[in-house]
Chains A and B, each alone.
Chain A
Amino acid sequence: MSAPTPRRPKLLVVDDGDRYAELAHAFLRDYDYATRCDLAGPCWSCPRRAGCTLTHAHDLAETKEALRRHRDVDVLLLDVAFELPAARLAPSATGERDLARRRRLQGLDILAALRRAHPSLPVILMTSREELADDAALAAVDALAADESVVLAGADAFDARALSLLVERVLAYRGAPPGDGGYLWGESEAMARLRRDALTLARTSLPMLLLGETGTGKSALAERVIHPASVRRGPFVSVDLAALPSTLVAAELFGAARGAFSGAVERPGRFEAADGGTLFLDEIGNLPPDVQRMLLLALEERRVTRLGETTPRPVDVKLVAATNADLPSLVRSGAFRDDLYARLNPAARLTLPPLRERRADLDALIAGFVARAFAGGADRRLLVEYAAAARLESTAPVEVAFGRPPPSAARAITFVFAAASMAALRRHGWPGNLRELAQVVVNATVFALADAMEAARRGGQGVGAAARVIPIPATLVRRLIAPDASDGGVSPARGRVSLALTPRASLHAVARDLERQLYEQLFADCDGDFARMAERLVGSGGPKAARRVRLRFNQLGLRARRRSR
């Protein structure tokens, strides 16, 4: 049985004109919306319009009707200013009588009218702060900050890629406790304190500094907790300073005028992109010295100047910086400015503990990672496939048990971590922290699910009630947390490859070098059998695939000698 196509969120555009709906139909298709449209042109001309994931309403009455007809709408894309005749305006939620003003803020009145019947429907306001003409309008939008399911799109409203990401983010928050955004806190006292401090500092205008080892969840804390808990409704913009060449950092953060440097085009920087929202600077310790001075000025003056320009532009940004480096040491050595360090609010820094110091949270974290993995995407599809093979309901919930399955698992599919598995997990040092734990947990459940799938397809004990329990054996867990270094770099079970990265003159040379190592390792691992190599690489070991692999092998300058055992 083939896995079902994942359902895309259904969007309802509420706008008095047709231009926005036209845009959404034309360009959101690239992000898997309007999924049944396969014509060369835009989907409003598609004869199979009925399968489209976008719907459009022009006023409150049409919106109510659309929500009545399409009960599966996931997100409302709501404009704020509406040029409508008075008779079609929603009643003013504030008793406003001035018609021009009611039109300017009509979207907020529509939202107020809808909230009675749809209290938690996620809404993206398709406007920006520049379009809100007075302080009262800004205050009205800011007042929505308490409603976790309302987000201000800002300039991203008309950018299909940014909008699709915003929809994903809004949906990710739905159902999560307010302010937590699905962040896995665990139950330790240290994390409870961290949560309280993060939620408090998020609501201030102060910059925030997140410290912690790699993989402890700094960027997730910034995006899923701090940004939603701040009163800001602009976008969350993240910049990984370790991933940017030092020569490009200034232009990336502050923007550039055309001709500011060789090849420069007119473009805003990430500060401007984050206006009204949160700017997350990961690996702040990597900031080049000249850009440190620019960042200090931006924080002090709340304005940025694009490279090549002289007129600063005002920006309103909540800055969250993170690092796993020892910033005080960098300050002492002169590599990091002491005045910038002081401005980053070190007195109110948040330090995320490494996983080895919060082992009491392991059970809750494992349950959280399993729930997240099987909530959607490829792993969910695998689970649905398993349910079909094992003759279980495809909507069966996923549960996690430790030691032995709980008697309550009547409808659920339960992954059971054996006591020995948990002992191995508790002993491990977790140098990669949460990132490593998530990887081990997801791998363990998926491999166990694959084994269970095989058993289900064979029938017998693999189907029916017994199939509701999927054990996670200790041998599997041990193999995942302590990979065997003698496996020649390629693990047949997991498809993992270990490659040595050496800097080369060009990206092409680097890629070729890595590919060459991959083929060498596979060749050794498969005893020179190109069909087996093709099976690993492209999932098919037929003669045609084997010939293509051999050809590529030769192109890489490798010699095909059968490996002696």
Chain B
Amino acid sequence: MSLASDERRRRFARLVHDVAKYVARTARNLPPPPAPVPAWAAAMLARDLYETAPPHRRASFLLDEITRGLDPTPELDRARALLAEADSLEREVRAADETALRRAASIAREVELVLRAAARGTP
């Protein structure tokens, strides 16, 4: 049985507040290529994706936790797939590999946009 619309709306609002904003926190402020990602910003980006909320809860985990019981939507499926890809890049991102950092930043920006759009479209 699907959740009441009030509860759905609360969940999507929480997704924006707890996941979308923080996952893209560093990504949206990075210097554009070809400037390299500074080491301290790389560390911040890794924290945004893999330690999004204390204690050490990653964005993909938060997404699953907040959306538990919600009917699937194309936006949620897309966000889940993006964050799974980000998780697969964790080793390279933590090693400050430039290509992985740029891809992770791009994923983070898209997750924010997708989740904001999902929240706007929630009646």
Contacts and interface: CB of A to CB of B under 8 A. Distances in A.
Interface of A: 17, 19-20, 22-23, 26-27, 40-42, 81, 127-134, 155, 157-161, 266, 268, 275, 313-314
29 contacts: A17-B54, A19-B22, A22-B44, A23-B25, A26-B29, A26-B40, A26-B44, A40-B38, A40-B40, A42-B40, A81-B17, A128-B116, A130-B12, A130-B119, A130-B120, A131-B17, A131-B21, A131-B119, A133-B13, A133-B14, A134-B9, A155-B116, A158-B21, A158-B25, A159-B28, A161-B29, A268-B113, A275-B120, A314-B121
A134 B5 CA distance: 10
B10 interface: yes
B6 A134 contact: yes
Contacts of B38: 40
B81 interface: no
B79 interface: no
Given A134-B9, A159-B29, A266 B110 contact: yes
B interface SS class: helix
A314 B16 CA distance: 17
Interface of B: 6, 9-10, 12-14, 16-17, 21-22, 24-26, 28-29, 38, 40-41, 44, 54, 109-110, 112-113, 116-117, 119-121
B25 A313 contact: no
A133 B29 contact: no
Nearest to B12: A130
Given A131-B13, A266-B113, A157 B28 contact: no
Nearest to B29: A27
Given A19-B25, A131-B119, A158-B24, 14 more contacts: A19-B22, A23-B25, A26-B29, A26-B40, A27-B29, A130-B13, A130-B16, A130-B119, A131-B13, A133-B10, A133-B13, A134-B6, A158-B29, A268-B113
A19 B109 CA distance: 17
A20 B17 CA distance: 12
A23 B26 contact: yes
Given A19-B25, A158-B24, A314-B120, A131 B6 contact: no
B78 to A, nearest CB: 11
A46 to B, nearest CB: 12
Nearest to B109: A266
Contact of A157 (B9, B21, B40): B21
A275 B21 CA distance: 16
Interface-centre pick from A41, A129, A130, A159 (highest chain B CB count, 10 A): A130
Nearest to B121: A314
B113 A133 contact: no
Nearest to B26: A23
Contacts of B21: 131, 157-158
A559 to B, nearest CB: 39
Given A155-B116, A158-B28, A134 B10 contact: yes
A446 to B, nearest CB: 35
B29 A313 contact: no
A133 B110 CA distance: 22
Nearest to A157: B21
A134 B60 CA distance: 25
A204 B109 CA distance: 34
B9 A133 contact: yes
B13 A23 contact: no
